[in-house]
Structure 1
Amino acid sequence: MTKMGNSGGFEQGRTDGFRKGREDGYNKGLEDAQALLVNPPLNDISLKWRELRCADQIASHFGSSVVLNDRNMECLKETFKSAIWKLEITANGQKYPMILKIFKAPVNEQKLIELNMYRKAPSILPDLIPTIYLIVEGMNGEDVWVFMEFVPQVKGQVIFTPDYFDRIIPSLAKLHALTYNDNFYNHWETFEEWLPLYDSETSTQERQKNHQKTLEYLDKAMELPELKERLESSYVNVRTMLQKGPIYFPELLQAGKSIIHNDLQTPNIGCHNVAEENWNIKFIDWEGARFSPCWFDMFNLMGVFFAYRKDWRGDEHAVIERCAPLYAAEMLKYGIRFDTDPVRLYKMAYLQRVFERSLFQQLYWGVEDLKSVHLLDHYLERINVWGKELGLY
């Protein structure tokens, strides 16, 4: 009996101990979880921020000490090329958003263009590039981290209509005027080793190569019933015009070159206060930057918009008639005068860019069955009408 009693007591003690351990473990786990909510573990950004004393290096931009708010971080976008984080800091008793753009290794030519625009161009293009607070090289191997001013994208702030081109064009003209012709070459040592030039041997060869490919794919497209039906009425005219390339309008080159942004979609255009009549524009994402005919950016701004927005195409002519002279007038404020009619220059820039790149892209996608070619018909219409108007056929 004694032995059985001892055995029963042992079993009961073991059960009570197990229950008590489970309760203690649960309570400890709950405490740890609550502690993590209050003080979450530092992620890689927070750890590197402290390790590299980024706060000390950025403080001068704010005139006070800076603290990274570790719990307020958001990854806005991540691809195999880069990651964009929205951070928050506290300085002068106020909270400020900040962008961290991580350029992932390897740093190819396009990434290098954007990085060098941030490294070397802000003093040449004041107020047109987000303020760069800090650039840290060699992160996690060969990555580059760029801490910069957060500038809200125009996209999402307004329902964009062609009326807003009027708010963007003054800043675009300022970008072009500051780097127009001799103004660019006065800073040649800043750009010579990394910024693509429209007239360089490399660019010229690439243009000639694309020109030949466009002719080849135009003929290939005519062998496919679906594309042939869309191309047939334009084929002879388009081929006639292409034979005059790859440079179709010497007047466009004579009108002058500047640093162009080359990708003027609304996500790449920032403004702190769109409620103001005069927008203080800062351009974002500079990987397409190059020294090219300045009117190309007017195509990048307006031509691409109308190509994608069928709902506004009925207003395209009126917008061009308004905005091309506005751009010329803004350039004139910097002493730059165009000898050719601005509307004509815009149409030249449109056709040159479509023949250089956009038409080939549509034909290539269609022939190789890679993507939808829903812009092809619009480009063909403009090529036919403006090509005749400008004497290409």
Structure 2
Amino acid sequence: MGRAREITQRFIRRKWRKMQFADAFKPIFDGEITLNHRNMKCLKDTYKSSIWKLEIKAGHKSLPVVLKISKQLRRSRPESTVERNIYRKARKLLQPFMPQIYLTKRNVNGHDLWVFMEYIEPVRGQIEYNPDHFKKIIPTLAKLHAATRNEKFMRHEKTFADWLPRYDSKSMHAERVQMNKSTLHYLDEAMKKPNLKAILEPYYTLLKKVLKDGPEYLPEVVEAGLSIVHGDLHTANMACHDVKEKPWQVKFIDWEGAKFAPCWYDLVYLIGVFLAYRREWKDEEEAITRRSVSLYAAEMRKHGVVFKTDPMKLYQMAYLKRILERGLYLQLSWAVTGQKEAKLLKVYLEKVKVLGKQFGLY
């Protein structure tokens, strides 16, 4: 992995002048453009990106702007390429669902991509997030899925052809096959550890049966439609100017996990994964899920999408499918290697047992 240069306030100011970004902003805002170098804040900095909140003065007005610097490493991860291209190539189609992109500039400081975009406050930090807020997000999510579903996506196929992962591609099928093999491997490795064996033993036989029949589980989920999905819907990746506003004007940020995939996968992350972590709502999970799924189906219907299969059944199938394709692999590998705490392992095991039986997988 290549080493990326440290991003500092001084470095940004110098590049602002050298690249003449003020002139590039003039067609967007009226008046003389200046960067307020006294009001610069680093929001996040990692080996792959650096995110800053800047203040730009346009005439007599000041406005906050996000600068996201995607660092081009020697061995770039595929998801980094996805996000770079979302900002550069797909912003016309996806602009209603993300902050306004003011300006993108490639090859800054080598091959880094600099993206200047509208600053919108993340939902995290504005409210104490709970399942009641799903209804604030689902209308925008349904609009994204309906706008990019099946044939509507195909109209823009050339835009995404060489960089957006597609669930129906040979390469993603090969990934699922490999993930399936790895899940079986980590399942057997976990059984060698007494603490994990105690957890897994009641599920081991059914897991072996289900996984050996994979990885193309429950085709109804794919048949229900593919759309551009965000892939990582948690509160830090959802933004809203005013959470007191009705309805929320939600925008999604950090599109690294975007792909053309079953539309129900975003619902699984928004609802299922959240509730898997937050077990205080365990007793209300089914009621919360039914309300949310019903709202999603109703919002999709507004945009001309009617699901032939019962929406709740599709959601449950998608949840099970996602666990078997990826979720179980992550939890088992983390448990075996100790890389992370496998917080969802027990929840996922029980979901496979209950939903797997319900849908005849064992």
What TM-score do the two structures reach when normalised by structure 2? 0.94
Higher alpha-carbon deviation: 205-214 or 303-312: 303-312
1:237 to 193, 200, 206: 206
CA contact under 8 A between 1:89 and 1:98: conserved in structure 2?
A: yes
1:242-321 → structure 2 map (5 Å cutoff): 242-321=211-290
Counterpart residue identity of residue 46, structure 1: R
Match of 1:183 in 2: 152
Instruction: Work out whether 1:326 is the aligned partner of 2:289.
Output: no
Q: SS at the partner of 1:43?
A: helix
Which residue number corresponds to residue 194 of structure 2? 225
In the alignment, which residue of structure 1 is the partner of 2:336?
A: 367
Residue 50 of structure 2 is aligned to residue 86 of structure 1: no
1:338 aligned to which of 292, 296, 307: 307
Which residue type is aligned with residue 53 of structure 1? Q
- Whole-Å separation in 2 of the counterparts to 1:299 and 1:343: 11
d(CA) in 1 for partners of 2:285, 2:97: 27
**Matches for 1:1-393 after TM superposition, within 5 Å:** 43-106=10-73, 107-393=76-362
CA distance in 1, matches of 2:59, 2:218: 55
SS at match of 1:169: helix
Provide the residue aligned with 1:7 in structure 2: none
Q: Which shifted more, 249-258 or 379-388?
A: 379-388
CA contact (8 A) 2:34 2:56 kept: yes
Instruction: Supply the AA of the counterpart residue of 2:47.
Output: F
Deviation at 1:154, TM superposition (A): 0.4
Distance in 1 of aligned mates of 2:317 and 2:332 = 21
CA distance in 1, matches of 2:181, 2:343: 23
Identity %: 49
Q: Counterpart of 1:19?
A: none
Deviations 1:93-150 (A, max 9, x none): 2221100011112254222110111112221123211111111111122211111111
Q: Distance in 2 between matches of 1:375 and 1:42?
A: 40
Moved more, 244-253 or 42-51: 42-51
- Please report how far the alpha carbon of residue 370 of structure 1 lies from its aligned counterpart in structure 2 after TM superposition: 2.6
| 377 and 42 in structure 1: CA distance in 2 versus 1, 3 angstrom threshold | closer
1:358, CA displacement in angstroms?
1.0
Contact 1:88 1:95 in 2 (8 A): yes
Aligned with 2:348: secondary structure? helix
- Paired amino acid for 2:33: V
1-side partners of 2:191 and 2:274: how far apart? 28
Matched residue of 1:223: which SS? coil
Distance 1:358 1:259, change over 3 A: same
Q: Distance in 2 between matches of 1:68 and 1:315?
A: 49
Question: Shift of the alpha carbon at 1:319?
Answer: 1.0
Does the Cα contact within 8 Å between 1:65 and 1:91 map onto a contact in 2?
A: yes
Identify if the C-alpha distance between structure 1 residues 379 and 42 changes in structure 2 by more than 3 Å, giving closer, same or farther: closer
- C-alpha deviation, 1:312, in angstroms: 2.1
* Bigger mean CA deviation after superposition, 285-294 or 41-50: 41-50
2:5: which partner in 1?
Answer: none
Write out per-residue CA displacement over residues 244-294 of structure 1, whole angstroms, 9 at most, x where no aligned residue: 311111110110000100000110001111101211111100111100011
CA contact (8 A) 1:76 1:84 kept: yes
Give the 3-state SS of the residue equivalent to 1:352 in structure 2: helix
Offset from partner CA, 1:149-196 (integer Å, 9 cap, x none): 111100011100001000000110111111100000000110001101
Bigger drift between 135-144 and 287-296 goes to 135-144
Q: CA deviation at 1:198?
A: 0.6
- Return the letter of the residue paired with 1:320: T
Which deviates the most, 370-379 or 162-171? Answer: 370-379
Distance 1:94 1:349 in 2: 47
Instruction: Work out the number of aligned pairs and report it.
Output: 353
What letter corresponds to residue 312 of structure 1 in structure 2? Answer: W
Amino acid corresponding to residue 341 of structure 2 in structure 1:
S
Structure 2 CA distance for aligned equivalents of residues 366 and 253 of structure 1: 30
Per-residue CA distance 1:306-355 (angstroms, 9 max, x = gap)? 12112222221111110111111111111111011111111111111111
Shift of 1:42: 7.5
The list of structure 1 runs, each at least 4 consecutive aligned residues, that deviate by more than 6 angstroms after superposition, is none
Unaligned runs of 5+ in 1: 1-40
Residue 65 (structure 1) shift:
2.8
Offset at residue 368 of structure 1 (A): 2.3
SS at match of 2:300: helix
Q: Secondary structure at the match of 1:262?
A: coil
* 1:125/1:178 contact within 8 Å kept: no
SS at match of 2:137: helix
What is the aligned-residue RMSD (CA, Å)?
Answer: 1.5
TM-score (normalizing by structure 1):
0.87
Tell me which amino acid in the other structure corresponds to 1:99. V
* Secondary structure at 1:154 match in 2: coil
| Distance across 1 between alignment mates of 2:188 and 2:179 | 14
